[in-house]
Amino acid sequence: MKQQVFMKWAQQKHLSIPHLLLEHYTKLNINEHELMVLLHIQSLLDAGDAFPTPQTLSERMTLSLDACAEIIGTLVRKRLLSIENKQEEDTGVMYEHCSLEPLWASLIHHLEQESETKVENIKAEKEG
Amino acid sequence: MKQQVFMKWAQQKHLSIPHLLLEHYTKLNINEHELMVLLHIQSLLDAGDAFPTPQTLSERMTLSLDACAEIIGTLVRKRLLSIENKQEEDTGVMYEHCSLEPLWASLIHHLEQESETKVENIKAEKEG
Amino acid sequence: MKQQVFMKWAQQKHLSIPHLLLEHYTKLNINEHELMVLLHIQSLLDAGDAFPTPQTLSERMTLSLDACAEIIGTLVRKRLLSIENKQEEDTGVMYEHCSLEPLWASLIHHLEQESETKVENIKAEKEG
Amino acid sequence: MKQQVFMKWAQQKHLSIPHLLLEHYTKLNINEHELMVLLHIQSLLDAGDAFPTPQTLSERMTLSLDACAEIIGTLVRKRLLSIENKQEEDTGVMYEHCSLEPLWASLIHHLEQESETKVENIKAEKEG
């Protein structure tokens, strides 16, 4: 193996996926194509791309541009992805900004409900 | 948000995905369902599960047990996943062990080829 | 570079450090030796070692066994590390368990205070 | 805990540290202060800062500006960090660029030597 290729490997960034997302996404009504779109978006946001387009996504995926656009639409409707209009402070130029905030809010909401259900089940058991 | 749920969040492990995998999996002839199976396997291996079964995978995915078994078969045929028989040193008990070594070998092979092509193109350009 | 060594590299786990910890540890009154002990403990907990000893830590660090023991004591006193007695469910055997929960609680407390201060400063500026 | 602070937490980046680095840095003659400087540099490079200065480092660490400058010098002398002059393609402007390539090269060199020693030991044992 060439030194040069290894250096590219050792110096690459990594995308950190929370294990709680991997374990619970199906309960948030997310399928694997949708999750992969979310992971690509996270990866592009980390790299400084504030608004990944269906074009960019389809170049990295086996899905067509139309399929990517449709999944983005679905994710916005399911409130897992938000698209906001922002304004650059210096220049006043408007731009679109993509955020996974709704995804994390949904996941936390799910974990809180799950934790409450457990507490209630333990209570019910004790009270018999 | 409850402190207890946040603690679960802050103390969870993360799966580290190499960016080079996210950028190049389609060139290794891997689709999104296959990649998600590979990521779940990596996550289960990290957690100490040496041989994730189709059953375990289908419980975490939207895919059926049969679909998961089929994808595992495809990944082994495509030489992206290997399943080895190993023997415990102490007890001599045989067990199956799953490894992503072939995936990393394929990815590195692809990166080496890509790097050679670039070098040749630059040479060709210079030589005109 | 040898294929075998690269495989070890590609298959290793990674420790995911929150950027907020790297940016704010000095404000939590943590110095670099203490942070390195915390990172080693996190790495050992991730690997399934429930109670890293000063011995284990000093074998991975340039610090002596005594220095490691002293830093663990300091971290417990500063309420950044907790050591709990737990009991195995099956066997009833008691064991010590180490947790970074207090670290995350302190970091979040700091971030909340910082966020409140910002809100108050903005208010004060507006009210002039 | 406030939703807003949690969002900051959930959306933060993570620094991925290879476990092999945590396990072997002392064998590369790196101490904890030097490792923390390397981790901060990696974190700043990931964030797009091509040349972290002693000033930037000392603001994030408990070390003084002079101590940070000295550690950077030591790391360059030990061939764990390189500082290169680069030129922007578009504008021709010269700039300094910091790279951890020598660190990864040293670590891999160490792992290769370690792996050779093991092979030789096994041979020696068999030949008795």
Q: Chain A partners of C2 at a C-beta cutoff of 8 Å?
A: 1
Q: Looking at CA atoms only, how far is residue B69 from chain C in angstroms? A: 23
Output phi, psi for C79, to 5 deg.
55, 50
Per-residue pLDDT tens for D56-73? 999 999 999 999 999 999
The secondary structure of chain A, three-state, reads CCHHHHHHHHHCCEEEEEHHHHHHHHHHCCCHHHHHHHHHHHHHHHCCCCCCCHHHHHHHCCCCHHHHHHHHHHHHHCCCCEEEEEECCCCCCEEEEEECHHHHHHHHHHHHHHHHHHHHHHHHHHHC
Q: Domain extents for chain A?
A: 18-127
Distance CA D5, CA D17 (A): 25
Residue C1: pLDDT over 80: no
**Taking CB atoms and an 8 Å cut-off, how many pairs form between chains A and D?**
36
Give the least confident one: B14-18, B50-54, B67-71, C54-58: B50-54
C91 vs B71, higher pLDDT = B71
Decide if B28 contacts B106 (C-beta within 8 A): yes
Beta bridge partners of A16: B16
Q: Give B-chain residues touching A22 at CB under 8 angstroms.
A: 15, 39-40, 43, 60
Quick one: what percent of chain A has pLDDT higher than 90?
Answer: 66
If you count residue pairs, one on B and one on C, with CB atoms under 8 Å apart, how many are there?
36
Mean confidence (pLDDT) of chain A: 92
CATH of B19-127, one of 1.10.10.10, 2.30.110.10, 3.40.50.10860, 3.40.50.12160: 1.10.10.10
Mutate to test the interface with C, among A4, A6, A14, A17 (most CBs of C within 10 A): A6
Residue B121 has a pLDDT of 85
- Please state which CATH number belongs to domain A18-127: 1.10.10.10
Residue D90 has a pLDDT of 83
Does C10 touch chain A if contact means CB atoms closer than 8 Å? yes
The residue assigned the tokens 């089940």 is A121
**Residue to test with chain D: of C3, C7, C8, C15, most D Cβ within 10 A:** C15
Nearest CA in chain D to C110: D5
Q: Which of C35, C67, C38 is nearest to C52 (CA)?
A: C38
Residue B72 has pLDDT above 90, yes or no: yes
User: Do A10 and C9 contact (CB within 8 A), yes or no?
Assistant: yes
Query: Quick one: DSSP state of residue C63?
Result: S
**Strand runs labelled E in B43-119:** 82-87, 94-99
Question: A13-22, A86-95, B116-125: which has the highest mean pLDDT?
Answer: A13-22
pLDDT tens for A69-118 read 999 999 999 999 999 888 878 888 887 789 999 999 999 999 999 988 88
Whether residue B14 and residue D14 make contact (CB cut-off 8 A), yes or no, is yes
What kind and span of H or E run contains B17? Answer: strand B14-18
* C128 pLDDT above the threshold of 80: no
Q: Give pLDDT, residue C109.
A: 94
In this structure, the number of other CB atoms found within 10 A of the CB of residue B34 comes to: 21
Residue B77 tokens read as 């045929």
User: Over 80: is that where the pLDDT of D128 sits?
Assistant: no
Residue B62 burial (C-beta neighbours within 10 Å; 0-12, 13-18, 19+): middle
Q: How far apart are CA D24 and CA C62, in angstroms?
A: 11
Q: Just give the CATH number of C17-127.
A: 1.10.10.10
pLDDT at A22: 97
**B31-57 pLDDT tens trace:** 999 999 999 999 999 888 888 999 999
How many angstroms separate the Cα of B31 from the Cα of each of A70, B4, B102, C50?
A: 18, 38, 16, 38
Q: At what angle do helices C32-46 and D32-46 cross, to 10 degrees?
A: 80
Here the ipTM equals 0.89
pLDDT category of residue B92 using cuts at 50, 70 and 90 = confident
Q: Which helix (H) or strand (E) holds D12?
A: none
The token pair at A102 is 């709704």
CB atoms near residue B42 (< 10 Å): 22
The token pair at C33 is 């030796």
pLDDT classification of A15: cutoffs 50, 70, 90? very high
Shortest distance, CA C85 to any CA of chain D (angstroms): 27
- With CA atoms as reference, the chain C residue closest to B109 would be C3
What residue in B sits closest to C16 (Cα-Cα)?
Answer: B14
Select, from the ranges B20-24, B95-99, C122-126, the one with the highest average predicted confidence (pLDDT): B20-24
Q: Considering only the beta carbons, identify the residue of B6, B14, B16 that sits closest to D6.
A: B6
**DSSP H or E segment with residue B111:** helix B101-127
pLDDT band at B95 (very low <50, low <70, confident <90, very high): confident
Classify burial at B117, counting beta carbons within 10 Å of its beta carbon; exposed 0-12, middle 13-18, buried 19 or more. Answer: exposed
Instruction: Give mean pLDDT, residues D17-30.
Output: 97
Integer Cα distance of D99 and D105 in angstroms: 11
- Given a contact cutoff of 8 angstroms between Cβ atoms, the answer to whether A101 and D11 are in contact is yes
Is some CB atom of chain D closer than 8 A to the CB atom of A47? no
Residue D91: pLDDT over 90: no
Residues of A in contact with C1 (CB under 8 A): 1-3, 6
* C-alpha torsion angle, residues C29, C101, B43, C22 (rounded to 10): -10
Q: Flag the least confident range among B99-103, C90-94, D9-13.
A: C90-94
Task: Tell me whether D9 touches chain B (CB under 8 Å).
Answer: yes
pLDDT band at D27 (very low <50, low <70, confident <90, very high): very high
